[in-house]
Amino acid sequence: MTTGPSYERVFDRLKTAVPDWGGLLTLPLEVLTALIGDAGLANQKAPRMVAIAASLAERFGRVTLDPLRSMDDAEAEAFLTCLPGVGVKTAKCVLMYSLGRALLPVDTHVARVSRRLGLAEVKGGRAFAAAVEGAVPPDCRYDYHVNALQHGREVCRALRPKCVECPVHTLCPSAGVYHAQINAD
């Protein structure tokens, strides 16, 4: 997992070394791996980054996401998920953060918070993610993602949620359940 401070540090380091994403095509893999090392899984991520850059250059003539701006959400997501190592959550993160789309990436933290808040009752990965995205108005999705992610990491944790510290515990249908479990332990 890449945390906010880790991400920012690694991203700044990478952009200093590779100011133009096309530089990934000529940067030695060992150098790229070292640059992103403390973000985790660098031995997997570095080759994928190079492969993605090569795919973008082949498709668009240079390493860019600009052509995705003219695609609708489904088309852009389908394109991104065809790239090496890019799944639906990553594609939605790229579309939301980089291209300003009103989508909602659902990772483990967002899913947990959403499930506990009762935003979706559907079981299963894609169906659940689609139900959560549908429950959050488009103009609130960015903020919901950022806040649910942070809330899931710090308060609404998987094993020991801090229900008594939760600012929405009075609205959460799960708060009493987890609080009772913690007190029973």
Give the pLDDT score at 6.
78
Q: Which residues contact 148 (CB under 8 A, 6 or more apart)?
A: 109, 110, 113, 114
Q: Which residues contact 50 (CB under 8 A, 6 or more apart)?
A: 24, 25, 27, 29, 32
Average pLDDT value for the chain: 91
pLDDT tens, residue by residue, 53-89: 999 999 999 999 999 999 999 999 999 999 999 999 9
- In the block, tokens 């920012």 appear at 8
Give the pLDDT score at 40.
86
pTM of the full structure: 0.85
Give the pLDDT score at 142.
97
Domain layout of the chain by residue ranges: 4-98, 108-184
Answer yes or no: same fold for 4-98 and 108-184.
no
Query: What is the chain's pLDDT, residue by residue, as a tens digit (185 residues)?
Result: 455 567 889 999 999 999 999 999 999 999 999 999 988 889 999 999 999 999 999 999 999 999 999 999 999 999 999 999 999 999 999 999 999 999 999 999 999 999 999 998 888 788 999 999 999 999 999 999 999 999 999 999 998 999 989 999 898 998 877 655 544 44
Measured N-to-C along each axis, helices 141-154 and 108-117 cross at an angle, to the nearest 10 degrees, of: 90
CATH architecture entry for 4-98: Orthogonal Bundle (1.10)
- How far apart CA 17 and CA 168 sit, in angstroms, is 43
- How far apart CA 133 and CA 144 sit, in angstroms, is 10
Give the pLDDT score at 179.
54
CATH architecture entry for 108-184: Orthogonal Bundle (1.10)
Give the pLDDT score at 185.
45
